[in-house]
Structure 1
């Protein structure tokens, strides 16, 4: 359906502007009048002309969504009406995409939609966790408290994500540097030595022959190596999708040496914090479990959520299927069981999440301390093997000269 930009005056004579969906300009004006507005400009919104690359277009970042949530909570806490708060945030938004999003939210609310329904139309920006919590806040009359919880949740998630990315950055950079150096040696340096050895007629030891064979392959079939790497990445991304091989890939991830334990701890932290935030906000437990399943980010743990839903439907506890799964540590399942028994499940889940955030922080620091020397040794070892493979024939050449 076409989208129209409008400018109008409300009953108090205040200027309003926004977006509205309608089949025609005439119907858009009629809808605005039904909303108690007096439109004086209505025109269809045109898409920007010209060539554009989708993945280069700036969208709404997670940090901007978090800031939007925090500011909304502050404005509502101060007693401002919802639409007035949205207007303030729209005026100060620097990102055009965010400004357009807030304008659309305002328009939907003016058309009679609830805030949560308006949010649910933008699933690329707001996850089910977000708009379901907002819906619970609207029903309970505690929208500002829910928005504060959402902002705290998003900030914790961002902090955790930053820590994990920081731990992965150094190994990735070192691996890239090592690969570049080794490739340069193989393509540029080794062929020069190989020509010299052949001209001298030196008998080449096995390590030198292996290195020269790899070098000849890279020089002659470099394009095949690049295509192979690209093809492998595309095939892995295709396989690592829900309904294909995501479950098997997640099983492998959890069993990875060193990193598998970190991935599991991050997933448990996300599970407990998400469920705790939803329960504290008044979202029904079965609906909360479904949201957790969709946002947990790991198919192995998501499969456990199906067992949890079945257990709750049968009047059983949450902790029982978690314990049976053997995925969650005993400490986690016992603390959840205590939370269920004492009626403080939400606070217990939050405590577990905070505890696991600290554990993840310690694990990341330990991994960084372990990986740095290992990467240096691996890089030095690879270059050392290549250098030694070239030196062996040179010793033979010296003997021949003597």
Structure 2
């Protein structure tokens, strides 16, 4: 049976829409006719389904967090996967993604793993989330894996909301300054220039520079927007098709000041979380290390983990393997060494993950603070230059009228 989304009319002419399970679209129309609904459109549930002419709401991080938490609770209570998805489909909080979840349920019912079903249906699901679900599928602890995934996403969402809130005021100030500055450059200063030409007076140097710079900046901005759009399309194409190019780009990301440190903490956090869960479930290192590398979201780290796993099979110690994975935080090897010596590696990996989480939060907050200060200074300088460019002609004209 496949889930279809329909839109039609009942016997009184009122619009009806919803989901129905049937063997094919023809069978779905027959079932709807029995209910007294004349179907206008019937299409298989999936991510591309539209409602009312508009694409349905995306599978955002907060919705995924809610889904993972409720799914984990149902699985932990002993409910099988497909019946658990049936229950979740009825949750009013997840109504906006019901069609997408119905497609996931159909795929799971046909034998697809949950990780593959979600990855193929919802493009918003990250490699880290897929890897954590694969851990649950391989180690037999899906409810625990989903619960941890929900906690991780919730922490990231709280940080994101905090940073977005901190940037709202600077963004509004920048937008207002750009709009006012643009109006001054486009209308006010050219008018002042015409007045000075008619009065046979010369504009102040700063005003002439601002006028010329504004024209040049406008042309460069247009060309830059076109070039950025073309470059972004080419970058996305290469990221999708060329693994070596992805790795090279990722390595450069690690070298960026401030951003590189934050990225290193984030990928190390993801790597440690997945490795800890795998080891707790008794999965061997030969399988755990490359899977944790893939979950990190870093192409360079994934490549290093895959190469170091081959050395692990030849007898290389885990500590040396961790040191050989260059993108990981340098302190992780010490945590692994202490955990192996004390026989409590998963516990110490959890402590390391907490440390990286705190470090990531601090770096992100500090980065936003620097960005806010930088934007404020740039806007202040821009406004000061525009104000001087406007005031200097007025002062010079006033001086010319009063010898």
**Range into which the TM-score falls when normalised by the shorter chain:** 0.7 to 0.9
Which of residues 225, 232, 237 is equivalent to 1:229? 225
Distance 1:139-1:295 versus aligned 2 partners, 3 A rule: closer
| Matched ranges for 1:231-310 at <5 A | 231-239=227-235, 241-242=238-239, 243=242, 246-310=246-310
Summarize deviations over 1:163-216 as a string: whole Å, max 9, x none. 555565555444434333322221122212222222233334443321121234
Aligned residue pairs: how many?
371
TM-score norm. by structure 1 comes to 0.73
CA contact (8 A) 1:304 1:321 kept: no
Superposed displacement of residue 395, structure 1: 4.4
| Matched ranges for 1:3-402 at <5 A | 3=2, 19=21, 45-46=42-43, 52=53, 56-96=55-95, 98-108=97-107, 110-111=109-110, 122=121, 124=123, 126-127=125-126, 129-130=128-129, 133-134=132-133, 136-137=135-136, 140-163=139-162, 165-166=164-165, 172-217=171-216, 225-226=221-222, 228-239=224-235, 241-242=238-239, 243=242, 246-324=246-324, 327-401=327-401, 402=403
CA RMSD of aligned residues (A): 4.0
CA contact (8 A) 1:250 1:298 kept: yes
CA contact (8 A) 2:339 2:345 kept: yes
Distance 1:228-1:110 versus aligned 2 partners, 3 A rule: closer
CA contact (8 A) 1:5 1:20 kept: yes
The whole-number CA distance in structure 2 between the counterparts of 1:270 and 1:216 is 47
CA contact (8 A) 1:149 1:277 kept: no
The whole-number CA distance in structure 2 between the counterparts of 1:128 and 1:314 is 28
Distance 1:152-1:372 versus aligned 2 partners, 3 A rule: closer
The whole-number CA distance in structure 1 between the counterparts of 2:22 and 2:230 is 40
The whole-number CA distance in structure 2 between the counterparts of 1:324 and 1:91 is 48
Distance 1:376-1:330 versus aligned 2 partners, 3 A rule: same
Structure 1: runs of 5+ lacking an equivalent: 7-16, 26-42
The whole-number CA distance in structure 2 between the counterparts of 1:127 and 1:367 is 24
CA contact (8 A) 1:265 1:360 kept: yes
Distance 1:167-1:269 versus aligned 2 partners, 3 A rule: farther
The whole-number CA distance in structure 1 between the counterparts of 2:214 and 2:85 is 62
Distance 1:400-1:258 versus aligned 2 partners, 3 A rule: same
The whole-number CA distance in structure 1 between the counterparts of 2:95 and 2:334 is 48
SS in 2 for 1:330: coil
Structure 2: runs of 5+ lacking an equivalent: 6-18, 28-38
Superposed displacement of residue 91, structure 1: 1.8
The whole-number CA distance in structure 1 between the counterparts of 2:204 and 2:61 is 56
SS in 2 for 1:46: strand
Distance 1:143-1:369 versus aligned 2 partners, 3 A rule: closer
CA contact (8 A) 2:273 2:349 kept: yes
The whole-number CA distance in structure 1 between the counterparts of 2:336 and 2:393 is 66
The whole-number CA distance in structure 2 between the counterparts of 1:302 and 1:216 is 47
More displaced 10-residue stretch of structure 1: 166-175 or 349-358: 166-175
SS in 1 for 2:90: helix
Distance 1:92-1:115 versus aligned 2 partners, 3 A rule: same
